[in-house]
A = this chain, B = another copy of it.
């Protein structure tokens, strides 16, 4: 249960608040921080003096061309890039990429690699991931000791504590505790994050205006994934990363899904499902992987003339619309970002999608629901992982203490 606030927690929490305020705002002055946090100027002054002294923040005076205001000019504060670094690993279908990012959020090194995830044995898959991380960490240009966190984004279901990949469409393997493996190998705290959740995190940082408290990021790719932010916080399941929008039931007993079950939304709206439908292949046929180029060609064909291709996208839209309708019945409508290769074909999907939503409980506001599209998911996933790792460093390393002590006696 919730735990009391000890006196020493107070400073810790307010430190964390200042660090987070600096990361969120561009280069806020102490006065701005005082305003957003509600703390007094003196407190902010004391805390930021500490943080600067410890090398966590820096004064970035040479920022703007001094806005020609009267009075003492504001001194912007910013994350000190040298305070720490984080490493992101993104594992998706046949593709592995790693980046090292400094504490201010700038990419300082990266490496990418193709690999055949679908057929690799367990040891090899793990080995490649470890190896690529090791190469980046041992880069002579980089100070190894400074990497404070690894965040791995992975296509598939992860557990709710972000420790392991439980199931993934990119490999037949299951239950790989990547976080533990990386921690053991490198002695650096690590997490294993769901790709769609990281997309949502990235959107929240990219456009906090639009994506703030409540929104949905849907990945339209081979499979259908979702990252959900509710009341400003990432939503996860009770045991897993949750939010398996693609496996909500659209038609009981319907088309065969990649997950082996029938009638899932994905079995109508995933790339393979659209392809299967457009090619006149049976709904009972096993899903096949379809390349991005093929999907783009399919969309072009659908735009050109009314035929089975267009109908396939229409059916995808219908499945997504009824799925979203059911979701909206639970959480109320919220802005949606469509991400991934099929987001580029959203013009083909949208009409049927809106028509379906209009027939559901969320439909009363169907016109006000806004959709945004972003065809490229990988940069989003990496950005999300980076922000995840950086905020961890902000909170747990540079404002440490609380968790370990308080609440130890809680039943």
List residues of chain A with CB under 8 Å of any chain B CB. 1-7, 10, 13-14, 17, 20-21, 24, 35-39, 43, 160, 213-214, 228, 230-231, 237-240, 242-245, 247-253, 259, 261-264, 318, 322, 325-327, 329-334, 356, 359-361, 363, 405-411
Contact = CB atoms under 8 A, between A and B. Distances in A.
B330 A38 contact: no
A251 B1 CA distance: 41
Nearest to A247: B361
29 contacts: A3-B38, A4-B14, A5-B10, A6-B38, A7-B10, A10-B10, A36-B409, A38-B405, A38-B410, A214-B238, A228-B330, A230-B238, A237-B331, A237-B332, A238-B333, A239-B333, A242-B331, A244-B329, A244-B361, A248-B330, A249-B325, A250-B252, A251-B251, A251-B252, A252-B359, A259-B361, A261-B361, A261-B363, A264-B361
Contacts of A263: 359
B5 A248 contact: no
A406 B5 CA distance: 17
Nearest to A411: B36
A383 to B, nearest CB: 20
B1 A5 contact: no
A43 B204 CA distance: 40
Contacts of A325: 248-249
A240 B21 CA distance: 30
Contacts of A4: 13-14, 17, 37-39, 43
Interface centre among A24, A213, A326, A407 (most CB of B within 10 A): A326
A247 B5 contact: no
Number of this chain's copies in the complex: 2
A230 B13 CA distance: 25
B17 A332 contact: no
Nearest to A40: B6
A158 to B, nearest CB: 12
Contacts of A39: 4, 6
A253 B358 CA distance: 12
B248 A329 contact: yes
A213 to B, nearest CB: 7
Interface centre among A160, A230, A237, A406 (most CB of B within 10 A): A237
Given A4-B14, A4-B17, A6-B39, 20 more contacts: A3-B38, A4-B38, A4-B43, A6-B38, A36-B409, A36-B411, A38-B408, A38-B409, A231-B238, A238-B331, A239-B332, A242-B332, A243-B330, A244-B361, A247-B360, A248-B361, A261-B360, A261-B361, A262-B359, A264-B361
Contacts of A3: 17, 37-38
A261 B37 contact: no
Contacts of A318: 252
Nearest to A47: B4
Contacts of A410: 36, 38
